[in-house]
């Protein structure tokens, strides 16, 4: 299927936008003086994202000797770029 911009303008097709959590996290990460605690407050507003984040850092991929239990610890481990990718991937999956 070839997308035609005229179809969008006529209302024949709809383009979904990303959830607000993505934009909030992206905005906070972009600020120069943002702490992981600031980012963690936003992540904590989305229970599904929180669970996925904690599952990721506690997976065999990271292989930490002890369980990571806080959002802030998890964010320090994965970093802001991987957080953006996680939120974006999660958002896209939910759109489909």
Per-residue pLDDT of the chain (96 residues; tens, 9 = 90+): 555 656 555 555 444 555 788 889 999 999 999 999 999 999 999 888 899 899 999 999 888 889 999 999 999 999 999 999 988 887 777 656
The residue extents of the domains of the chain are 37-96
42 token code pair:
């936003």
The 8-class DSSP code of residue 21 comes to: H
Residue 13 is predicted with a pLDDT of: 47
pTM for the predicted model, two decimal places: 0.74
Residue 15 is predicted with a pLDDT of: 47
Residues in CB range of 15: below 8 A, 6 or more apart: 8
Using DSSP, state whether 27 is helix, strand or coil: helix
């Amino acid at each position: 299927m070839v997308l035609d911009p005229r179809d969008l303008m006529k209302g024949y097709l709809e383009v979904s936008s990303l959830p607000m959590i993505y934009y909030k996290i992206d905005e906070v990460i972009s600020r120069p003086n943002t702490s992981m605690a600031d980012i963690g407050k936003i992540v904590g507003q989305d229970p599904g994202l929180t669970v996925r984040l904690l599952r990721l850092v506690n997976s065999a991929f990271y292989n930490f000797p002890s369980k990571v239990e806080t959002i802030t610890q998890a964010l320090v481990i994965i970093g802001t770029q991987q957080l953006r990718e996680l939120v974006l991937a999660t958002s896209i999956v939910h759109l489909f």
